[in-house]
Amino acid sequence: MAIYTDGIDEAFNAHGEQFGIERFNRFLAASPHSNLAELGTRAYQAIDQHAGDTPQSDDITLMLMALPTAAAGGNGWEQREEHSVSLRDEPGVVSEFLRWLKSRLAAHSEIADIEAELLLVAEEVFTNILKYGNMPADGKVEVSLRVSDRETELCFSDPGKAFDPLKESQQSTLGLDSESAAIGGLGVHLLTALTDRQEYQRRDGRNILRLCKSYKPGSNKE
Amino acid sequence: MDLTTKVDVDEGKSLARVSLIGALNTDTAPGFETRLREVVAKGLQLTVLDMKDLDYISSAGLRVIFKAAKEVKSAGHRLAAANRKPHIDKVFEILKALPDMAVFANDEEMDDYLDSMQEQVKGS
């Protein structure tokens, strides 16, 4: 939220043009919001650039505040998407899940740079749940994806037996040659290398795994 | 998230090029493993996994490649990778996967390697 005096939108240049509310709104919308102090400095620079040598005609005061969005329940997350997947031990179930996730990730162009890594991580978790979860016949995995202006979060909730993939997954030694390399135990390395935070809880008979990965706003490929 | 596998065999050069097109993940890995085992069973000197059109590889896919690399090496032959995309490279790097596997950045590097192999055979 930006609260400001009219010295900003009514800053004139040598041609008598105001900086204007619309121009200021476009500037704010196009600028990264991760550092409000820097944003404020850039706003003043933009006004100075517009005004040039024209003397300031009114006081210029600007207050910028980061507010959580209503849809995020007060946590700063922009959007939350949820999906429920029935676990069936049959070919294609992993691809079906990944196709859903890929479509949801593609809806957020700002995270295009980390889309492939999120899919990798999601596949590892989902496959682990299938293999080790000892799921009931009608078991469902609940998956949620949340995106904020600097971070993504994938959360998996399953009703299988207690299993913390961060501790209990087989972990192989990396970097061994073809003869010595263990064939399994690679997945957990990908989980920890490709995400910034991992958190596991066992609650109400469910495994809950939360994975967070940050991204740089404005760095997505065209 | 499908995978197409194409195999080109040159018996004269004892070489197979296995091209992976699409995604090598938990679902597509079993089918790819079957095709790769058929190629490895031919006992060729060099099997090259051409990843020019491979968009995605998970640990499931790498496991298939690890297994094939072990079998090939124990038979005294070689398995190599070629034309890996940057994000595929990254997965190999993170997992420090198969540091002894030959990697060709492009077809020219592979051709140079094949030529040197041919020279070694002629010289022996």
Residue numbers in A near B100 (CB within 8 A): 177-178
pLDDT in tens, A71-80: 434 444 555 6
Asked if A46 and A27 touch (Cβ cutoff 8 Å), the reply is yes
Query: Which pLDDT value is given to residue A94?
Result: 83
- Write the burial class of residue A206 (CB in 10 Å: 0-12 exposed, 13-18 middle, 19+ buried): middle
Cα(A19)–Cα(A10) distance, rounded to whole angstroms?
A: 6
Query: How far does the CA of residue B97 sit from the closest CA of chain A (Å)?
Result: 6
CA angle B79, B105, B10 (to 5 degrees): 45
Residue numbers in A near B27 (CB within 8 A): 91-95
- The token pair at A216 is 């740089």
CB contact, 8 Å: A100 with chain B? Answer: no
Residue numbers in A near B101 (CB within 8 A): 178
Task: State CA B112 to chain mean position distance.
Answer: 17
- Residue of chain B whose alpha carbon sits nearest to that of A193: B94
Q: What average pLDDT does range A85-102 have in this prediction?
A: 78
Residue whose C-alpha is closest to residue A1's, from A64, A60, A61, A44: A64
Instruction: Describe the crossing of helices A187-194 and B86-94 by its angle, rounded to 10 degrees.
Output: 110
Cα(A182)–Cα(A186) distance, rounded to whole angstroms?
A: 9
- Residue in the block written with tokens 């195999």: B7
Residue whose C-alpha is closest to residue B15's, from B118, B119, B105: B118
Cα(B32)–Cα(B54) distance, rounded to whole angstroms?
A: 13
Instruction: Decide if B95 and A127 are in contact by the 8 Å CB cutoff.
Output: no
CB contact, 8 Å: A90 with chain B? Answer: no
Q: Residues near A216 by Cβ (< 8 Å), separated by ≥ 6?
A: A113
Query: Which pLDDT value is given to residue A46?
Result: 92
User: Which pLDDT band holds residue A70 (cuts at 50, 70, 90)?
Assistant: very low
Query: How far does the CA of residue A198 sit from the closest CA of chain B (Å)?
Result: 17
Q: Give how far Cα B102 sits from Cα of A47, A48, A177, B63, B81, Å.
A: 57, 58, 12, 17, 6
pLDDT tens per residue, chain B (124 residues)? 789 999 999 998 899 999 999 999 988 999 999 999 999 999 999 999 999 999 999 988 988 998 898 889 889 999 999 999 988 988 888 877 677 777 887 878 878 887 777 776 665 5
ipTM over 0.90: no
Instruction: Decide if B25 and A175 are in contact by the 8 Å CB cutoff.
Output: no
Please state whether the predicted TM-score (pTM) of the whole model is above 0.80.
no
